[in-house]
Chain A
Amino acid sequence: MTRSETDPAAGPVQVRGTVLTVRRVDAYCALTMVAPGVAARFRPGQFVALAVGGPDTGMLLRRAFSIHSVRPDHGGTVEFVFAANGPGTRWLAERRARDLLDVTGPLGRPFPVPRDPASCVLVGGGYGSAPLFALADRLRERHCTVDFLLGAASGDRVFGALTARRTGRTATIMTEDGSLGARGLVTDMLGQVIHDARADVIYACGPMPMLRQVTALAARYDIPVQAAVEEAMACGIGVCMTCVLPVVGNDGITRMVRSCVDGPVFRGDQVRWDDIGTIPFDAFGAPGWESRPGRAAPAAGRLASGRPAGDGRAGPPHQQHLPGRQ
C-alpha cells in the first residue's frame, strides 16, 4: 500500500512555492521557499523535487534535494541546499525573492528514529549533511544524544560545521586538504567517534562510497546504519524507475528498488553497495532468476519488510539490531 492509502495526510503534494531567499553558504547555495503543504508533512530525511528552467524549458527532469529545514513562518517554509554546478542548479541559484517554483514533496521514506533515548552519530559528506540537522533536532526531542562527524574535500564544502559544533554533543570535522578540522576522510575517524560516543546507531548521508564505508565500519561495531542515498532521479515520485539500486529485503531477496519511494533512507546493511550500477545475478527478476519452489512470489519494486513508512517508530534502528556495546 502506498502511504496515501494508510494516511492521506502523509502523502506528498504538488504546490507552487514562492522563493523567499537564495543565499550562498560557502561553496553551496541555500534556497528557502514558502511551500505550505510540504512543510507541514515533512519528516527529516525526506526531499523535494523541483521543475527547473521555467515553463518553456527544455530541461524536463525534476531536480531532487534533501530538505534541510522547515519553519512554520508564512504558512510553512522549506529550505534546501545545493551545489550550482549544472544548468538546472544554476537556474535555481539565479532565483530571486517572489519567484515561483513547481515543487513536489515531501517525498521518500524519512529517517526512522529510536523509540527510546539512544546515542546517535550523524555522519555527513559534503552537503549531504544538510538533512542531518533537522534529524538532530528530532532526535534530541526524543532525548537522544547527537554527535556529528562531517567531512568534505575542503573546509568550504563542509556544510553546517558551525551548527554541528553549536548543537552537537561533539562535532568532528574532517577535510581531505586539512583546511578545516583534521586532515582525512570521515571514515578515518568514525571508529573513534563511535567509541567515544558509545554509539547505538549511525545516520549517514553523502556520496555512495562514503555510505558504503560507513556501513562496513559500523558492521565491525555491530551498530545499525540508516543511510540516505544520493541516486540520480528523473521524477522523484516513483514512476520513472531510473533511481533503482539493489537492496536486500527482510525476506532475504534482493530487489532493484526505487530510491525515491523505497528510500532515500535505507538500512545500510540491506543495500548491496558493491553491486550498485549492476543487476546482481540473484536479484529478483534478473536474467535467469526463477522463483524457487516454496518461495512465495514476492512483489517487486518494494521492500517486503513491512516497515512503517511514517516515522518508523515500530521499526529500526533500535529494536531490530540491538547495539552491541563493548
Chain B
Amino acid sequence: MTADLRTRLGQAELPNPILTASGCAGSGRELAQFFDISKIGAVVTKSVLLAPRAGRPTPRMAETPSGMLNSIGLQGPGIDAFLQRDLPWLLSRGARAVVSIAGGTVDEFAELAARLSDAAGVSAIEVNISCPNVEHRGQVFACDPGAAAAVIEAVRGRARYDIPVFAKLSPDVTDIVAIARACVAAGADGLSMINTMLGMAIDTGTMRPVLAGLTGGLSGPAIRPVAVRCIWQVRAALPDVPIIGMGGVKTGRDALELILAGASMVSVGTAIFHDPSACPRILRELEEELASRGVERLAEVVGLAHEPRTAARRGSFTSNIL
C-alpha cells in the first residue's frame, strides 16, 4: 500500500510534499539531467532579485561537520532573465514552480511580487527575508517582526490573490514565534523554515577566516534539530498555518521528522549537493516510512508529534531514534 502523499499549497494541490530548497537547485535545469523534476512536489527556485547580482567573492564555501557554510550572496541574473528563460523552461517540463524572491528594500520585494503575478504558472512565492549573506544585518528582515511584516504586507498586497505567499524565516532570532505571528498577521499564507544559520570557520593553517565573506550560512544535517525545534514551536502557536519545513533533510526519515513537527511540505537543500537525486530518493524513502507505519494519508501525520500519547494510540510504532 502506498500512502496518499498529496498536500495543499494554497488553492493548489501538490502530488507530494518533497520540494527543492531555494538556492540548492538553481531553477531546476541542472537537476533535470538526473531526474524528472515534474515528479517532485515543486521546484523552489534560487532567490530571484530585481537586478542581476554577482554575489560574494570566493572562497564561498567551507565543509563543516555534517554541514557546510556558504556565502554565495544571492548571485543571479535578475527577474528579467528569470521570466524570459528560467520560468518558462520549468513550466515546459511540467514542474510546479515556487519562486523565491529577495531584495534589499520593501519596494523591491513588492515589485518582484508584481512581476511574478503578471507571469503565468507561479505556484507560490517564497519571500526570502532571511538570507544571512547580505551587506548588513539590517537587511535580514526576518530578524525583526516589524520589518518582516512590512515586507510580507507589501508582497501580499502586490501578489495576485491566488498565489500563496510564504515567508521564509531565520532561526537566528530569540523568538521565532513572534516573527511568525507578525508575518501571518501581515498576510502570509504560510511559513518556510528554516533558512541557514549564521556561522563562521577559521583556517588554522593560514590563521584567517575560510570564507572571503567572513561569515556564511550553515546548512545540512547539523542544523536539523534547530529546524525541528522552530517548526515545532510555530506549529504549536499557529496550528492552522501551512509550513514548508527545511533544514538538514537527507533521508525520508528526516523528512518525516519535520512533518511530525508540523510541516506539510519539506524542502531538500544541501543534500542535493551530496546527491543530485536526493529529492526523488527522499520521496521514495518517505513513502516507505509511511507505508511501514500503516499511514494512509500524509495529512494524518502532519504535526502528529504534538498529539499526546501518539504511540499508544497507534499501537504499532517502535522507537527508531537509535
Contacts and interface: CB of A to CB of B under 8 A. Distances in A.
Instruction: Note whether A and B form a binding pair.
Output: yes
A120 B71 CA distance: 39
Contacts of A245: 58
Interface in B12-46: 23-26, 29-34, 46
Interface of A is mostly: loop
A278 B272 CA distance: 27
B80 A297 contact: yes
A299 B81 contact: yes
Interface string B197-237: 00000000000000010000000110000000000000000
26 contacts: A2-B33, A4-B32, A14-B275, A51-B275, A58-B66, A60-B67, A60-B220, A60-B221, A60-B270, A102-B275, A239-B25, A239-B30, A239-B273, A240-B24, A241-B46, A244-B60, A256-B75, A277-B57, A279-B54, A279-B55, A279-B56, A285-B55, A286-B54, A289-B52, A300-B52, A300-B77
B76 interface: yes
A111 interface: no
B33 A11 contact: yes
B58 A276 contact: yes
A239, A261, A287 — most chain B CB neighbours (10 Å): A239
B59 to A, nearest CB: 6
Contacts of B61: 61, 232, 234, 240, 242
B85 A299 contact: yes
Contacts of B56: 279
B273 A62 contact: yes
Q: Interface extent on B, as a size class?
A: 35 or more
B30 A60 contact: no
Nearest to B61: A242
Interface string A286-318: 110101000001011100000000000000000
Nearest to B65: A58
A285 B68 contact: no
A151 interface: no
B54 A283 contact: yes
Nearest to A4: B33
B273 A240 contact: yes
Contacts of A287: 54
A240 B69 CA distance: 11
A97 to B, nearest CB: 24
A237 B75 contact: no
A186 interface: no
Contacts, number: 140
B29 A2 contact: yes
Contacts of A283: 54
A242 B60 contact: yes
A155 interface: no
B314 interface: no
A146 B54 CA distance: 39
Contact of B57 (A11, A255, A279): A279
A14 B275 CA distance: 9
A270 B51 CA distance: 24
B293 interface: no
A12 interface: yes
B137 interface: no
Given A241-B72, A297-B81, A256 B277 contact: no
A244 B30 contact: no
A231 interface: yes
A237 B272 CA distance: 10
Contacts of B196: none
**Which of B25, B34, B65 is packed against the most chain A CB atoms within 10 Å?**
B34
Contacts of B175: none
A14 B277 contact: yes
Interface in B58-114: 58-61, 63, 65-68, 70, 72, 75-78, 80-81, 85
Contacts of A278: 57
A284 B276 CA distance: 28
B284 interface: no
A244 B55 CA distance: 10
B313 interface: no
